[in-house]
Amino acid sequence: MLDFLTELAQEAGALALSHFGRLSADAVESKGHLDLVTVADRAVERHVVARLQARYPDDGIFGEEGSAVDGTSGRVWVIDPIDGTFNFVRGGAQWAVSIGLYEAGRPVLGVVHAPVMGMTLAGGASAWPTLNAKALAPLSSYDQRKASVGVGLGRAVPEADRLAMLRLLMCDARISFRCCNSATISMLEVATGEVDGYVGYGESSWDVMAAYPILVALGAGSTLDWSTTPLDAKLRFAIGKPGLLEAIAGLNHAG
């Protein structure tokens, strides 16, 4: 299964690259302030859905660009065809194809493919995580002396909550933070050790479904309780190295 998913994510990345840097003005639409969708997003999702349905016809599908299939197997493929569309439109490298498997009420397997960055992250509960087919090391323990996290600040999250999150990170926990406008890329950076964790306010399940089980397999802790979190929920959560959650325990994940 993982070999097929890796191949599919790389196919999808190649399709996205065929549009990268070539989008006309009418190929980009706005779904909200700084929230874009392109012909590439839709083409990639169609391709991924078609391949998944041919391979796993009994499985459900839940995609960012509207794909919704009720399966009978109890498994659901959760797809973000291009996570980081704003970066994609601007010509940046920080975007990725994200394909994750949700089963028995939790994320279990995923592949993240970032074509411009030349990185393919794969793995989950049943397959040790790899980066470009090489096994990753387990996450090291959190070290406050050089702490850094990625952050995601959804536009629908109240301003007071966003400011409170940043204040806690900067002033209370004294953690450096960065925002790259892609939860998938931020979580990939946790897997590679570039940052210690990710704090997301206002994410959707398709933003995190592929990378989440990979990080858990590497030893990450998380505040998310998937048993009480529907697939269409807006997420507020933190995930990261052992010890990080204790350092940021004052964060408010309600809302």
Distance between CA atoms of residues 187 and 183, nearest Å: 6
- Annotated ligand binding at 35? The verdict is no
* Shared-domain flag, residues 203 and 87: no
Is 153 found in the same domain as 119? no
pTM for this structure?
0.94
82 is in an annotated binding site: yes
Q: Are residues 180 and 149 in the same domain?
A: yes
Domain count, the chain: 2
53 & 167 share domain: no
Whether residues 110 and 177 share a domain: the answer is no
203 annotated ligand binder? no
The answer to whether residues 110 and 153 belong to one domain is no
How many angstroms separate the CA atoms of 40 and 48, rounded? 12
Same domain, 101 and 197: no
User: Looking at residue 44, which CATH number applies to its domain?
Assistant: 3.30.540.10
Last residue of a domain, one of 83, 103, 135: 135
Residue 83 labeled ligand binder = yes
Residue pair 209/184 in contact (Cβ under 8 Å)? The answer is: no
Q: Which domain does 208 fall in, by range?
A: 144-251
- Per-residue pLDDT 10s for the chain (255 aa) are 999 999 999 999 999 999 998 877 777 877 665 567 789 999 999 999 999 999 999 999 999 988 899 999 999 999 999 999 999 999 999 999 999 999 999 999 999 999 999 999 999 999 999 999 999 999 999 999 999 999 999 888 999 999 999 999 999 999 999 999 999 999 999 999 999 999 999 999 999 999 999 999 999 999 999 999 999 999 999 999 999 999 999 887 665
Q: Which two tokens stand for residue 178?
A: 């960065």
Question: Alpha helices of the chain — where are they, by DSSP H?
Answer: 2-17, 39-55, 85-90, 159-167, 183-192, 205-208, 211-217, 244-247
**CA 226: distance to chain centroid?**
15
Distance CA 18, CA 12 (A): 10
Q: Taking a C-beta distance cutoff of 8 angstroms, is the pair 203, 35 a contact?
A: no
Q: Is 175 annotated as a binding residue?
A: no
